[in-house]
């Protein structure tokens, strides 16, 4: 599976966004209602649902609480298996991006690593 950037984001971002949308609709929530519940804007929810931006673990955790699922559920149904090399490349890219955007404490980095391991299994 190619996880490189497509026009709107990686294929994984698009897949995760689709699952966010499905779970939001199943919960009978508007984007504005979900945004208010997780403390963000409706436009940010829309960008995640379209796969335009990457949903980081902390944000996925907040969404999961509101939508009554596990963060790893947003990754369920990925077509085929993500190859380990592609997965690690994406993890390194996310880690680099996360470090550039906000410094990650050791505990947050452990949480990201733990979540990624859960997703990979």
Domains of the chain and any CATH numbers:
11-120 (1.10.260.40)
CB 54 within 8 A of CB 91: no
Q: Which residues of the chain have pLDDT under 50?
A: 1-7, 83-85, 101
Condensed to tens digits (0 to 9), the pLDDT of residues 104-118 reads 666 766 776 677 667
Q: What is the pLDDT of residue 82?
A: 53
Condensed to tens digits (0 to 9), the pLDDT of residues 16-35 reads 999 999 999 999 999 999 99
Nearest-5° angle of CA 44, CA 45, CA 49?
A: 120
Reported pTM? 0.62
């Amino acid at each position: 599976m190619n996880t490189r950037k497509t026009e709107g984001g990686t294929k994984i971002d698009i897949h995760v966004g689709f699952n966010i949308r499905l779970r939001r609709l199943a919960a009978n929530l508007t984007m504005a209602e979900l945004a208010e519940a997780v403390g963000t804007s409706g436009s940010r929810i829309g960008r995640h649902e379209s796969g335009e931006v990457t949903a980081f673990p902390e944000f996925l955790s907040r969404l999961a609480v509101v939508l009554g699922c596990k963060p790893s559920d947003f990754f369920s149904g990925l077509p085929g298996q993500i190859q380990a090399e592609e997965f690690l490349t994406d993890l390194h890219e996310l880690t680099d991006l996360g470090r550039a955007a906000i410094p990650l404490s050791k505990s947050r980095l452990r949480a990201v690593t733990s979540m990624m391991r859960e997703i990979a299994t």
